[in-house]
């Protein structure tokens, strides 16, 4: 007997309840159901002019290049109120979580030390401000540019929850603010304060090699070696320092953050993440955390997915690289197949990785409108938890690196533009399909074909009385393509989630997919096809990695 269930987020989808079955899934972690929208808060929307502090030297610091391209390294006004004012926009795009850049206090002035910003290069911070949030000086205190009256972080979380959105808190452990090479010591730079506002660390505008932590207590928080630009390098292995950061992030989690994104993971000894994770999860056992291990080597980033080194998800840089090759450089879908690691791969669980194609630390993907549409059709149907960088819904400043427009102000004008943009319309369709279908969120993935402009695969979720199988066809060519229903198809009536029609599927039936389009069919029956069951059992046995 088939019973229809309605289950929270999956209210639009019906599942079959069966007393006993073989279980198939990619992951059972609840956070795998999320679609994540990433904003640099200062660059999203200015909702409150009163917290702009336009007289500070760190406000509005434009960059103009001979090529005509423009950037900005100053504060531009984006804040909590601007984010909240656009909560419906983010929700309507098809997202359920918002990852914001760090919320804690940064210096308000522009940094006078460091290296001058040039068209190419790395670690150039002269004249920059901490608009991005990654130059923390008091990890217990909100940055003054973010809150408004009656809208602190806890109130923001409460109001976003009412809108159906969770927040992801950005965690920084390895560095503070720029701390040396200033001609004259600037306020806050190189300093750290506790929750009571007491100074607990001060770099004193000294190079790391000149610090004397055994003599000067205010140097104890820092390492005596340089790492990233002129940023203070935090000695997180010092128990006192670990206590400081753990307690700070527990404070923010207590104010409603739902998940953590971990910055610059590989710049800290790997075992430290194991300790940090253990201490945080003592209070929040099922907390989802995903880390930035900036490397395209799957084995290098995979070790952090195991308990010894944090048991975190990681941003899937190898898949990001493959997505750029496929959707911007026009390589075939087989390039993506090699980066999935669906069986016997290096990751603890590949289905819990956060997937993306660009962000604030690299050039935006240089794709056509159709390239973005194809990328989104893949991102929201394949394994992993999709993360989209603000502005991608309109191809905002595509191809631009940090100082040439990657992080430019978005604003209400672009939000209005997005409401009728072809990329945004197609994004919303596929993002909402993922939100309403558990197979696309947590189902195990069985490839059918991935070559050239064609991709087809199953996503299957069968667990605890919920049954859904999705059959996905992707076409990234300029012409419509015909796909053949595979021989291991589950006979029965399948539901076209786009047209809302029921279709009888049998092996050999043809399905036509339009140019740069996707087809998703679902069935809620218990699977009985022997060939498909054998593939699923094999995939289940081999989906989890082993630390080697």
288 strand-pairing partners: 259
102 and 178 housed in the same domain: yes
Q: What is the pLDDT of residue 16?
A: 35
Output the DSSP codes for 80-140.
Answer: HHHHHHTHHHHHHHT-SEEEE---EE--SSPP-SSPPP-SS-S---TT--STTS-S-SEEE
Residue 72 located in a structural domain? yes
We report the CATH number of the domain holding residue 494 as: 2.60.40.1180
Q: What is the pLDDT of residue 8?
A: 36
Residue 467 located in a structural domain? yes
> For residue 14, with 0-12 CB atoms within 10 Å meaning exposed, 13-18 middle and 19 or more buried, which class applies?
middle
Q: Which helix (H) or strand (E) holds 439?
A: helix 438-442
Q: What is the pLDDT of residue 533?
A: 96
Output the DSSP codes for 223-256.
Answer: -SS--STTEEEB-TTSHHHHHHHHHHHHHHHTTT
Which residue, among 219, 272, 256, has the nearest Cα to 103 in the 3D structure? Answer: 256
pLDDT tens for each residue of 384-438: 999 999 999 999 999 999 999 999 999 999 999 999 999 999 999 999 999 999 9
Last residue of a domain, one of 409, 438, 467: 438
Q: What is the pLDDT of residue 218?
A: 98
249 and 389 housed in the same domain: yes
Residue 213 located in a structural domain? no
267 and 413 housed in the same domain: yes
CB 228 within 8 A of CB 123: yes
d(CA 365, CA 372) in angstroms, rounded, equals 9
Output the DSSP codes for 345-381.
Answer: -SSS-GGGSEE-S--TTSPPP---HHHHHHHHHHHTT
434 and 519 housed in the same domain: no
Q: State the chain's mean pLDDT as an integer.
A: 94
pLDDT tens for each residue of 449-495: 999 999 999 999 999 999 999 999 999 999 999 999 999 999 999 99
pLDDT higher than threshold 60 for residue 503: yes
Task: Note the residue count of the chain.
Answer: 548
* Cα 162 to chain centroid, rounded: 22
Using 50, 70 and 90 to split pLDDT, how confident is the model at 184? Answer: very high
447 and 432 housed in the same domain: no
Residue 199 located in a structural domain? no
448 and 409 housed in the same domain: no
Q: What is the pLDDT of residue 547?
A: 61
**Total domains, the chain:** 2
How far from 277 is each of 139, 307, 533, 548, CA to CA, in Å?
18, 8, 37, 21
64 and 157 housed in the same domain: yes
The contacts of residue 280 (CB under 8 Å, 6+ apart) are: 246, 249, 250, 253, 260, 287, 289
Q: What is the pLDDT of residue 122?
A: 82
pLDDT higher than threshold 70 for residue 23: yes
Using 50, 70 and 90 to split pLDDT, how confident is the model at 7? Answer: very low
Look at the block and give the residue holding tokens 């997005």.
418
Residue 216 located in a structural domain? no
CB 408 within 8 A of CB 70: yes
pLDDT higher than threshold 60 for residue 19: no
pLDDT tens for each residue of 277-328: 999 999 999 999 999 999 999 999 999 999 999 999 999 999 999 999 999 9
Last residue of a domain, one of 412, 438, 464: 438
Structure tokens at 2: 């088939």
Other CB atoms within 10 A of residue 286 CB: 8
243 and 293 housed in the same domain: yes
Range of the domain at 522: 8-27+440-542
Structure tokens at 1: 């007997």
pLDDT tens for each residue of 342-392: 999 999 999 999 999 999 999 999 999 999 999 999 999 999 999 999 999
Last residue of a domain, one of 400, 416, 438: 438
CB 174 within 8 A of CB 268: yes
Q: What is the pLDDT of residue 20?
A: 40
Q: What is the pLDDT of residue 282?
A: 97
pLDDT tens for each residue of 201-214: 999 999 999 999 99
Residue 203 located in a structural domain? no
Structure tokens at 54: 């336009």
pLDDT higher than threshold 90 for residue 331: yes
Using 50, 70 and 90 to split pLDDT, how confident is the model at 6? Answer: very low
Assign 526 to helix, strand or coil.
Answer: coil
Read off the DSSP letter of residue 185: P
496 strand-pairing partners: 521
* Cα 465 to chain centroid, rounded: 30
The contacts of residue 218 (CB under 8 Å, 6+ apart) are: 199, 200, 201, 202, 204
Using 50, 70 and 90 to split pLDDT, how confident is the model at 5? Answer: very low
Output the DSSP codes for 149-182.
Answer: TTB-HHHHHHHHHHTT-EEEEEE--SEEEE-B--
Which residue, among 345, 338, 290, has the nearest Cα to 312 in the 3D structure? Answer: 290
We report the CATH number of the domain holding residue 302 as: 3.20.20.80
d(CA 297, CA 317) in angstroms, rounded, equals 8
Q: What is the pLDDT of residue 15?
A: 34
d(CA 173, CA 27) in angstroms, rounded, equals 28
274 and 406 housed in the same domain: yes
Mean pLDDT lowest among 20-24, 95-99, 109-113, 261-265 = 20-24
248 and 306 housed in the same domain: yes
Q: What is the pLDDT of residue 91?
A: 98
pLDDT tens for each residue of 126-167: 999 999 999 999 999 999 999 999 999 999 999 999 999 999
Average of per-residue pLDDT across 232-258: 98
Residue 429 located in a structural domain? yes
pLDDT higher than threshold 60 for residue 10: no
pLDDT tens for each residue of 36-53: 999 999 999 999 999 999
365 and 461 housed in the same domain: no
Residue 222 located in a structural domain? no
């Amino acid at each position: 007997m088939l019973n229809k269930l309605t289950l929270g987020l999956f209210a639009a989808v019906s599942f079959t309840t069966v007393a006993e079955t073989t279980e198939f899934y990619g992951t059972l972690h609840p956070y795998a159901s999320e679609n994540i929208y990433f904003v640099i808060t200062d660059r999203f929307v200015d909702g409150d002019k009163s917290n702009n502090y336009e007289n500070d030297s760190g406000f509005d610091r434009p960059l103009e290049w001979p090529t005509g391209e423009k950037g900005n390294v100053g504060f531009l006004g984006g804040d909590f109120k601007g984010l909240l004012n656009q909560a419906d926009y983010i929700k309507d795009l098809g997202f359920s979580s918002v990852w914001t850049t760090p919320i804690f206090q940064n210096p308000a002035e522009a940094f006078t030390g460091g290296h001058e910003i040039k068209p190419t290069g790395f670690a150039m911070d002269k004249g920059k401000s901490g608009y991005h949030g990654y130059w923390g000086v008091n990890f217990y205190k909100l940055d003054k540019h973010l809150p408004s009256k009656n809208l602190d972080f806890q109130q923001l979380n409460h109001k976003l929850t009412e809108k159906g959105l969770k927040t992801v808190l950005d965690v920084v452990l390895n560095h503070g603010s720029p701390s040396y090479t200033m001609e004259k010591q600037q306020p806050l730079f190189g300093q750290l304060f506790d929750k009571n506002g007491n100074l607990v660390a001060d770099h004193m505008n000294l190079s790391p090699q000149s610090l004397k932590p055994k003599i000067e207590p205010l140097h104890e928080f820092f390492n005596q070696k340089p790492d990233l630009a002129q940023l203070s390098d935090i000695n997180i292995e010092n128990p006192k320092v670990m206590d400081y950061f753990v307690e700070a992030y527990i404070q923010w989690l207590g104010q409603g953050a739902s998940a953590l994104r971990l910055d610059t993971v590989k710049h800290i000894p790997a075992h430290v993440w194991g300790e940090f994770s253990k201490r945080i999860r003592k209070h929040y056992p099922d907390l989802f955390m995903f880390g930035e291990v900036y490397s395209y080597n799957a084995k290098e980033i995979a070790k952090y997915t195991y308990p010894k080194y944090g048991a975190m998800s990681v941003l899937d840089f190898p898949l990001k690289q493959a997505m750029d090759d496929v959707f911007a450089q026009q390589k075939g879908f087989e390039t993506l197949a090699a980066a999935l690691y669906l069986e016997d791969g290096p990751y603890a669980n590949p289905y819990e990785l956060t997937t993306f194609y660009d962000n604030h630390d690299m050039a935006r993907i240089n794709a056509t409108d159709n390239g973005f549409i194809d990328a989104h059709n893949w991102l929201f149907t394949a394994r992993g938890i999709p993360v989209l960088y603000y502005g991608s819904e309109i191809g905002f400043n595509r191809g631009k690196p940090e100082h040439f427009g990657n992080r430019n102000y978005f604003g209400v004008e672009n939000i209005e533009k997005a409401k009728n943009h072809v990329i945004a319309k197609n994004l919303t369709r596929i993002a909402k399909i993922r939100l309403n279908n558990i197979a696309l969120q947590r189902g195990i993935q069985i490839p059918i074909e991935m070559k050239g402009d064609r991709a087809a695969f199953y996503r299957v979720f069968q667990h605890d009385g919920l049954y859904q199988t999705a059959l996905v066809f992707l076409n990234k060519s300029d012409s419509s393509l015909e796909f053949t229903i595979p021989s291991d198809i589950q006979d029965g009536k399948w539901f076209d989630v786009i047209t809302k029609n029921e279709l009888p599927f049998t092996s050999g039936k043809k399905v036509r997919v339009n140019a740069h389009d996707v087809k998703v069919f679902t069935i809620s029956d218990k699977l009985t096809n022997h060939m498909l069951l054998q593939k699923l059992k094999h995939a289940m046995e081999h989906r989890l990695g082993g630390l080697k």
